[in-house]
Chains A and B, each alone.
Chain A
């Protein structure tokens, strides 16, 4: 009996050891992976505080740490000349374009989703399927056509043409009748119809039911879609690059890209500072709202 107990003890302790060993190994692997994932970021942080501009002389711990790159970014260093730098302007433009398109596109999406979820009409299913089908064609591929379209618009109404933020926002809005309607409709479908009916009994119109009863309940999904759409627009490069050609009209992403022109390795420090400031807000949003965003992301992706 004691013999068996002994063996059992041994077995347990060896299992325990195995478990500990395996965790230790996995922690080492985790460290390696974490290094892989954050070393570029560490270098960028270090470069942004390094008073030496050049890529060639970077060290992980800057020899001469200073805020000079940040000052240069905001034009506070009169000796530094990088002609096309309008950093504040770019950030402002990006936030402006992304906020306006997000709000407008949320409005369009939510109202359309309401109709698809609550009203019954001919062609409803065909349209829902059609929205999916259109997603097959990435609008990225029609860039020549979009460019020509915006150019022609601008010939008639200059305020909506090439090199205007309004034109860019309009193009972004073209994508708002898309997969997000599916997400929103799916969420609306889960809200019981009894709520609508209670409103209807009180004589509320469709619009009152929508704006006063349902909209408050949609908050969680509005936040997720809103944030994802904001991040998407904020991070967009190609459309903004094609449609904007004036340096002070650039969005941040287009602006940061011009660092790579010419002697990139000589502008590394200022780029690093700009990149960090540009990425930080998005990183914070992601890390705080990790779980909600991941939820929205998986549903969204499954749907399209």
Chain B
């Protein structure tokens, strides 16, 4: 302890730094602060509230660390701490927050962004100011509309252009026919009434400038001005549909009418425990989730047991100094471990291909039958366990052979003298002593497999799909692959960040509990205290 550099001498050391390095430090800090202020301003304009908070926290922290002499030790980890906060701690907090929101497709916007979007929606009223119309079409396929209102005033309308009064004989507009309608408009050809009336595109085109005045064709002889459809009432937080008088109330971030109709888009809103309650109440979510959760416990259990058993068996078998070719055998058995997991998994996906795969061609040759690895729920699970056995046994082979060598040989000699059989020696000496060393690694391996996204997703994409699920759930999906599908692979059902995050929280709890148990098991905390 007395060898340790004490806190005081260290801050003295910091204070005694050269003037140049002090100057550089201050200048860098000021530059960083300037950048940070600019960043926060930009984020403010975009409405990224959470990001602003976290960047402010990091900026303040870094200023304290690099300005206060007392904070000297933290200067060694300032950047690391910033990354830790920004990319590890903040995402965890953000995940917890999102789990209590409806964030996802249809709810991606903030309320402030959603309201103006909805206010842009228009409808074509059954009654009201109307025009008679004549259509013109350009060679490029664009339309123009000659409009005459009840007072006989005429206008020219083009999509995306302001509607302006016009007279036959104006520049670019030809002479009037007997009804007062121009025969030609420059660049356009006049459509005869029959063609115009049967034109499929015409009734869908909005003429005029969006947000200003737009006109749409209502019937073969009438066009009318489009009206704003939804009027927002900020006090009641409701929208009123002008076309039929329906009132839409804000329900969990979606404006919904009494009859259940909803306006899209909704907005991002906190919805309390709804995502979690949905797990237990919504049959379309609960069904797959129970199935996924069950498999999520079975899969790592069998994986850890099988890989450990095979790895240990190999380690025991070759735990013999005189065994010939030991080194080469070990290297060859290690090969599955040395290949990047993704490559191995995709490789197995090909080898176990039900129709063309090598394995099934053999099996068919020998037994006239081969399991449908990719399409049957049961055989898919078996295939996953086989592949994971291949991927995982070398790790336990390495670990176990290391641990076996640390068991003193005289214990076995004593047991032999007492007349113990081989099995008894294994059961009462090898296994208990081994488990002390390997036990924590078994738990670590369990946790790893609990979230073994790559295997499940790359081998079989969680398939085959569960029929009748409201989300893209598959029979071999584990929670993490399910989360991924909900968030990034909606398959037309809409991404559901809120639901995905709620499931993440559940996994946090499960994995967290297991890992904390492991820490206790390995006396990690005591180790920390000893090292002080």
Contacts and interface: CB of A to CB of B under 8 A. Distances in A.
A149 B340 contact: no
Contacts of A128: 528
A272 B339 CA distance: 13
A283 interface: yes
A304 B5 CA distance: 29
A29 interface: yes
A264 B529 CA distance: 54
B86 interface: yes
A282 B87 contact: no
A4 interface: no
Nearest to B1: A120
A58 B73 contact: no
B433 to A, nearest CB: 16
A120 B10 CA distance: 9
Interface in B337-386: 337-344, 346-351, 353, 355-358
B164 interface: no
A253 B508 CA distance: 26
Interface stretch (B165-173, B180-188, B274-282, B481-489): B481-489
A146 B351 contact: no
Interface in B1-55: 3-7, 10, 13, 17, 39, 42-43, 46, 48, 51
Interface in B305-362: 314, 317-318, 323-325, 329, 331-344, 346-351, 353, 355-358
B451 A152 contact: no
Given A279-B343, A286-B334, A136 B515 contact: yes
Q: Is the interface of B mostly helix, strand, loop or mixed?
A: helix
Contacts of A237: 342, 454, 458
Given A30-B329, A36-B390, A176-B80, A197 B3 contact: yes
Nearest to B330: A290
Interface centre among B48, B325, B390 (most CB of A within 10 A): B48
Please classify the interface of chain A as helix (H, G, I), strand (E, B), loop, or mixed, using the class held by over half of its residues: helix
Contacts of B123: none
Interface stretch (A6-14, A39-47, A65-73, A216-224): A39-47
B73 A119 contact: yes
B407 interface: no
Interface residues of B, number: 101
Contacts of B528: 125, 128-129, 132
Given A41-B339, A206-B13, A256-B342, A175 B356 contact: no
Contact of B77 (A112, A142, A275): A112
A: contact size bracket = 35 or more
A189 B73 CA distance: 17
Interface stretch (B134-142, B147-155, B203-211, B516-524): B516-524
Given A138-B451, A177-B88, 12 more contacts: A23-B323, A30-B329, A37-B390, A120-B5, A135-B515, A141-B511, A143-B487, A170-B87, A242-B488, A286-B338, A301-B440, A303-B524
22 contacts: A34-B333, A108-B79, A112-B77, A125-B528, A125-B529, A141-B507, A143-B484, A145-B98, A145-B501, A147-B488, A149-B86, A149-B87, A156-B48, A170-B83, A177-B83, A235-B341, A257-B346, A260-B346, A260-B349, A290-B334, A298-B398, A304-B444
Interface of A: 23, 26-27, 29-30, 33-34, 36-38, 40-41, 43-44, 54-56, 58, 108-109, 111-112, 114-115, 118-121, 124-125, 128-129, 132, 134-149, 152-153, 155-157, 170-171, 173-177, 189, 193-194, 196-197, 200, 205-206, 231, 234-235, 237-238, 242, 253, 256-257, 259-260, 264-265, 268, 271-272, 275, 278-279, 282-283, 286-287, 290, 294, 297-298, 301-304
